[in-house]
A and B are shown apart, each in its own frame.
Chain A
Amino acid sequence: MSSPSATPTKGKRTRGSNPPTPWSEDALTPPSRRRRTDDASTSDLQPMPTSPVTDMRSPAVQDTSLFSSPAQSRHSAPLNEIDMSSPLTYGTPSSRVEGTPRSGLRGTPVRQRPDLGSVRKARQVDLHSDHANGPEAPASEHSVGQKLVIWGTDVNVGTCKEKFQRFLQRFIDPSSTDDENAGLDLNEPLYMQKLEEINVVGDPVLNVNCEHLQSFDADLYRQLIAYPQEVIPTFDMAVNELFFERFPDSVIEHQIQVRPYNALKTRNMRNLNPEDIDQLITISGMVIRTSQLIPEMQEAFFRCQVCAFSTRVEVDRGRIAEPAVCRNCNTTHSMALIHNRSIFSDKQMIKLQESPEDMPAGQTPHTTVVYAHNDLVDKVQPGDRVNITGEQVITFSRSSRVQHKILRIYRAVPIRLNPRQSNVKSVYKTHIDAIHFRKTHEKRLHGLDEEAEEKLFTEERVRTLRELAAKPDVYERLSSALAPSIYEHEDIKKGILLQLFGGTRKDFSQTGRGGFRAEINILLCGDPGTSKSQLLQYVYNLVPRGQYTSGKGSSAVGLTAYVMKDPETRQLVLQTGALVLSDNGICCIDEFDKMSDSTRSVLHEVMEQQTLSIAKAGIICQLNARTSVLAAANPVESQWNPKKTTIENIQLPHTLLSRFDLIFLMLDPQDEAYDRRLAHHLVSLYYQSEEQLEEEFLDMAMLKDYVAYARSYIEPRLSEEASQALIKAYVDMRKIGSGRGMVSAYPRQLESLIRLAEAHAKVRFSDKVETIDVEEAKRLHREALKQSATDPRTGFVDISILTTGMSATARKRKEELAQALKRLIQSKGKVPTMKYQQLFDDLRAQSDVAITKDMFEEALQALTDEDYLTVTGKTVRLL
């Protein structure tokens, strides 16, 4: 627009008949705030002029479809008038131009930007006309040398435009990982490609990452942040000029709007303060409420009741200057508002609440009001987490005058002002006009959402984390930092630590195998009161997406998902349960053994396939439940019975148990040295001061960050040696068993080993899984097995306890007993029936080991299965 040829807006054309009006007005006006805001009346943003002369001549030129043929408008418009009033000219200006072939900067309508100061609209044109026509302005247009700026700012429109165009044409970001840039050539100017995209797709919105702008031109960025109301319209102009220069034939709905996002000065809602008013800010939060669509009047249409003369008045700061006198027939108070000829824009009120992560402990979250305009309306739903870029605007809550006036316009019901009102409440109302929404997902531990993750860590923090990772004993340090109040159980803590990190996610769906579980599941069993719950509680507090449930209180439905009828909409909605909610997190289930069978059965799918299938009330779907399970179970008898196997102690189906990578027993070691250390630990817990405790361990926040960082940035792959080591480990494990005629390892165990090794590599921030990782994985796995899969009768580790629910020796013993019973029966000769009790006594008398009734029944059952005999009541009948 620095050249006269670049000022070809339609406004100029329509104003042709009446050029001096704004000129003369402006000449008298000193460059004051008023000019910044008020003389929008002559804006050429409007599809039609509002100056009295034009009004009289073409009262209804608002039909913008006639723009391309202005000559015709003068004649056809009055004829159209009756038709025009029937369809609602409700909505956005663009709706009125639909279907008209047009192109180029001139032909494309400007869409109002209520998001930039909802009432002081059309600033861009304002500036434009000022600078083009005002007595002092032309200088700035033509000679760049002069430093003319918009009043109250240091923004020079010409320079600003040039700078921005330069930015668009030249900015290259080869290292971009932004998801918005998917599919673009990173070595070409980024935003030129985006403009091409707009040309093709026709969605006239250009999202500009403020970070890019800052790296390109820090000064321009500063101006954007400080004076968004002035700078963004300038950007709009710049973009549109550039766009139509390049694609002169492009047809888009309305002129391109620039939507900056990711202003670096991203603010926590709590830190907003008066200094941020009228500045561009980006804040994150959670949407808690959205209002219905509010039609906001942009322009009021009045018609004289007497002579049918009509006029348009723009809304200025929520107020409409209602014409008191008809300029045509000079009748007073004859002008009436015609609703459906007035222009409205969409508006929606959104309540944004601070995200829980940003909140200091012990305080309640703050909320902020956000207004969304036009196409941003209905973009977000309650519950969404968003980053909103917008400007904070301050309004007076004082004058009921203003409000009532608006009310009147909207409902056309005259309401008398309240004469009592002379005082001013000294509190402002603030809201944010949204320019750009960006939905974020909850900051997850997993690296699935890198974009949300990226800004999580400051450089300094990363450096500290890296330093920590470089320490040789980082693994020990971290594991001791985990739940320091719980004494010892080093291996369990290590296991849980690895669970926090998780393995590397692999995708074999192409080869038909589907996803490969990366999550590590852990089961803790042991005596009551061995701080299992406390460990669970700790983990639940540590991970961002943790869920804590108790097996006693949860039903299958509570864990998975259920369908319910929404009370308001009467629609069926899917409510997700704990497992789905902890997708990408850890689901802590206490009192696992108390869970009902049906509840437990849903865990089968979750724990291996990591999905959850639901078929209920017409909703059939598969939800992701990529959750690690940390469960705690108590033995069936109140005390752990060391003479029994794990399965017998906790009475859980082995199909479920085999899905746990690590099963730990938390038992009282009952050893003096341990007792002494425990006592010391507990006593010191009770008198050490808070500070002393802090010194000893890494704090929880550090641990959290460390885990989050590793999960999002580190993806270890198996190295050659590591794979060899794993193979060897697996073969070894198989060998141990085969010597005694039992299988001591299954492929599932190999998978567990891989996961554990990967997790251990993540702890070290290493991209490669190395032998040491495999060693630790092996050790931990062996420790866990030693605890949980040791056959109490033989003292050997026997994986079949976990995989089949019975140790090989026990199975052998069962068979032997059945055979002994069979021999006993055979020795009795050909008796068709026997007394049950008699047989039991005989067997006991014969055997040299104690035989319980259960064992006897098992043996009978085995023989029944062989079809050797049947048991009816108290008699045993041979077949």
Chain B
Amino acid sequence: STQFYKWLNHLMSLHVQTKPSNCSPDWETKVLEYFKEKLKDNEAASWVPSLNDVPVHYLKANSLVKFRCFIQDMFDPEFYMGVYETVDPSSKSKVLRSGKYKDVAECGHQVDLNTKNAVTLERQTFYCVPIPGESPWVKEISFSYSCSNPARVVPSTSYAPCRHKRSYEEDEDMETQPHKQKEQLGTTDIHGSGDPKRLETEAPSSLSNAASGCSSPLDLNFPLPGEKGPACLVKVYEEWELFKVNDILEVYGILSVDPVLSVISEDKDSSLVDPMDCTESVEEQRVHCPPASLVPRLHMLYAHRLQHNNPLLPPAASEGQSSSGFLNDVVSVRGELLGYLTHVLLGDALAAEYLILHLISTVYARRDVLPLGKFTLNLSGCPHNSTYTEQLYRVIQQLIPSSFRLGMSLHNMNNLRLVPRKDYTANRLLSGVLQLAPNTSLFLDETQLEQGQLDSTGVRNITALGNLISWQKVDYDFNYHQMEFPCNINVLIASEGKSLLPCDCHVRLQPQLAPPNLEQYISTIQVSLSPSLLNKFRIYLSLLRTLDYSISEEVTKAVEDDFVEMRKDDPQSISAEDLHRLLVVARLLSLSVGHTTLSRDRWMRAKHLETLRTNRTEQQKCVNGNEP
């Protein structure tokens, strides 16, 4: 396989360097086809080094790499020299060359720009960042997968073990680091560009830092604060209309880190007031032509949209051979998971049940403005002034591929940029916390909210959160107008009382036990969990999202009857909204045991759960007197 990769690279470089002028025009497409065919083979794909795992400076320029990424922004299309002619100064012989898959035209030769043979072509640039909020375990696993083939990292085999060591460190760090970052989150301006020190302190073991070799004042525009990893300018040559902002992709392409790119950008910095070159402001140049060492260019050969970024599952859910096997013991895994979460939720089995439903929920369709399938959960009754919500988040982070915890402190609300905003000076989309990939979990920690005044940013942020929850959309701010971007983000709100944000389902936490040391309690539970079981949980939660679901005629009828019956007794008992929720609960409940159709039993079970839940809130009302 090493041979295979070498061979691939060799072929690639051949392709990149010269385009035989005499061969048939479909030569190129044939080669591409061949690549795609090869890369479909998982084995072959795993031999391609990944930008996610290997620092850029360990990779050979113009070699084939892959990158698991998130499209943060799309730049303007650019026209480039598709085919151009070079003249050898000594022999005066002319050669036709292809400008595809590279940034810089051949050096050493005179380029004849006015030849008739020149072809101008168009390509599109995406600004890609690593998937925001990707859990550490995803990085770990995908890295260890690739490390099982140590020969894979061709340029420097000695690198792999060293990296291994590092990852252990990271493991240890992991416990404390997110914590630290969260604390910082409140106090520092996250998106403020240009504090080199902070970059260093915030991401001490960061790959990007290693890659860049030095800290840089460049703002890489990650959606989430404290993120790390390489950002990349992906050049797309075909069918770029198929991709959308916020898609997650796995890109296979040719890495270009030609230092010339950086030289050019430096040069331009020096000619600050160049009047003829005023098409781009300095800021814009910084963003659009960042140094290649920091933001490498990736010329896309082939990419596929990822439905999930769980490395334990095959990339396309349609490849169901492993999943069908898994579905057999789904019930037992569910039982284990329920037990585990019940422990984590201090013995509250009902809350654990709802948490599972929440974790497998996804927006599966939209009916005009109405997103279907979302299940925002509000877990109230979380103790104030304790680290419990944090512990809880840590547990959830362990289970799902990407997530983010947003402490809704007054300071955060008033200062964070949640909604992405277009910066016309630099001509880019300034990312915001709510620019997240589909199926990312957003953990809103309302226990951090204290009394005080929200300023206009705060009000806007709260409104944005409300819109996100109710309509699953974020209105990006384009200054002169807003643009609506539909999203699919699972929102979990942990709060003391009922949340101030709207939610689909409100569960009051009823702890059955009160461990004296919460932190220790949770970590004991976590430690006692075997890694293989943990992986099963991870597969379970990701896999069930992808299942289809239907309701048979018969059950439809039964549900209708049921509804009518309930309304007959007491019209107040169930409203249309309740039915909406009940249907979602029934759907998720069926899926959670691997059933793809609704059965009567499940329906009854869903009703039962709902009754338990509402009784609990009723009780709470009684206790609290007149709390709404």
Contact = CB atoms under 8 A, between A and B. Distances in A.
A367 B427 contact: yes
A369 interface: yes
A291 B560 CA distance: 64
B37 interface: no
B73 interface: yes
A2 B484 CA distance: 59
Nearest to B549: A687
B278 A294 contact: yes
A394 B121 CA distance: 12
Interface stretch (A399-407, A792-800, A824-832): A399-407
Contacts of A690: 365
Contacts of B264: 400, 425
B258 to A, nearest CB: 8
A667 to B, nearest CB: 11
Contacts of B78: 427-428
Contacts of B424: 288-289, 351
Given A683-B560, A686-B587, A403 B74 contact: no
A676 B579 CA distance: 12
B113 A679 contact: no
Given A403-B274, A679-B563, A538 B579 contact: no
Interface stretch (B24-32, B178-186, B187-195, B241-249): B241-249
A640 to B, nearest CB: 12
A364 B421 CA distance: 11
Given A289-B424, A426-B84, A700-B368, A403 B277 contact: yes
Interface string A366-408: 1111000000000000110000000000101000100110110
A684 B275 CA distance: 62
A33 interface: yes
Contacts of A693: 367
Contacts of A485: 367-370
Contact of B560 (A277, A404, A422, A679): A679
B577 interface: yes
A487 B74 contact: no
Give the most central of A277, A428, A531, A700: most B CB within 10 Å: A428
A672 B279 CA distance: 67
Contact of B74 (A363, A422, A529): A363
A351 B427 contact: yes
Give the most central of A425, A533, A690: most B CB within 10 Å: A425
B103 to A, nearest CB: 7
B104 A680 contact: no
A426 B80 contact: yes
B104 A396 contact: no
Contact of B244 (A362, A366, A369, A427): A362
Nearest to A272: B77
A515 B405 CA distance: 54
B311 interface: no
Given A425-B260, A431-B279, A394 B79 contact: yes
A682 B263 CA distance: 61
A273 B119 CA distance: 12
Contacts, number: 196
Contact of B79 (A427, A670, A689): A427
Contacts of A288: 424, 479-480
A538 B576 contact: no
Contacts of B120: 274, 277, 394, 428
Interface stretch (B154-162, B564-572, B606-614): B564-572
Contacts of A700: 368
Contact of A356 (B261, B279, B481, B571): B481
B103 A356 contact: no
A356 B483 contact: yes
Nearest to A348: B278
Interface in B72-88: 73-74, 76-81, 84
B429 interface: yes
B550 interface: yes
A424 B103 contact: no
Given A675-B563, A679-B579, A406 B367 contact: no
B567 A274 contact: no
Given A407-B271, A670-B571, A366 B76 contact: yes
Give the most central of B276, B365, B575: most A CB within 10 Å: B276
Nearest to A529: B577
Contacts of A404: 271
Contacts of B148: none
Contact of B122 (A273, A360, A407, A680): A273
Given A538-B369, A553-B463, A406 B274 contact: yes
Contact of B575 (A291, A394, A529, A534): A529
Nearest to B420: A364
Contacts of A430: 79
Interface string A416-456: 00101111111111110000000000000000000000000
B218 interface: no
A483 interface: yes
Contact of B267 (A366, A400, A676): A400
B471 interface: yes
Contact of B102 (A382, A426, A541, A684): A426
A483 B550 CA distance: 23
B372 A685 contact: yes
Interface string A653-684: 00000000000000010101001101110111
B472 to A, nearest CB: 12
A382 to B, nearest CB: 8
Nearest to A34: B114
Nearest to A318: B276
Interface in A231-250: none
A672 B276 contact: no
A274 B79 contact: yes
A286 interface: yes
A686 B365 CA distance: 9
A114 to B, nearest CB: 12
B271 A683 contact: no
B107 A679 contact: no
Contacts of A360: 241
Nearest to A677: B560
Nearest to A394: B79
A534 B246 contact: no
Given A365-B478, A403-B271, A406-B274, A686 B551 contact: yes
Nearest to B260: A423
A68 interface: no
B432 interface: no
A427 B108 contact: no
A668 B104 contact: no
Given A351-B424, A427-B79, A484 B274 contact: no
A424 B481 contact: no
Contacts of A421: 263, 267
B11 interface: no
A365 B108 CA distance: 38
29 contacts: A274-B79, A351-B427, A359-B483, A360-B241, A362-B244, A363-B74, A364-B422, A366-B77, A367-B427, A382-B480, A407-B276, A423-B104, A425-B105, A426-B102, A426-B104, A428-B120, A430-B79, A538-B368, A550-B463, A668-B575, A670-B567, A672-B564, A672-B568, A675-B564, A678-B563, A679-B559, A682-B576, A687-B549, A687-B556
Interface of A: 33, 272-274, 277, 286, 288-289, 291, 294-296, 318, 349, 351, 356, 359-369, 382-383, 394, 396, 400, 403-404, 406-407, 410-411, 418, 420-431, 483-485, 487, 527, 529-531, 533-534, 537-538, 541, 550, 553, 668, 670, 672, 675-676, 678-680, 682-687, 689-690, 693, 700
Given A360-B241, A366-B77, A679-B560, 16 more contacts: A274-B79, A351-B427, A368-B76, A420-B263, A424-B107, A425-B261, A426-B105, A487-B576, A529-B577, A675-B567, A676-B563, A679-B559, A686-B583, A687-B549, A687-B551, A690-B365
User: Which 10 residue pairs of A and B lie closest in terms of their CB atoms, listed nearest first?
Assistant: A362-B244, A679-B563, A274-B120, A485-B367, A679-B560, A687-B551, A426-B105, A529-B577, A424-B105, A428-B79
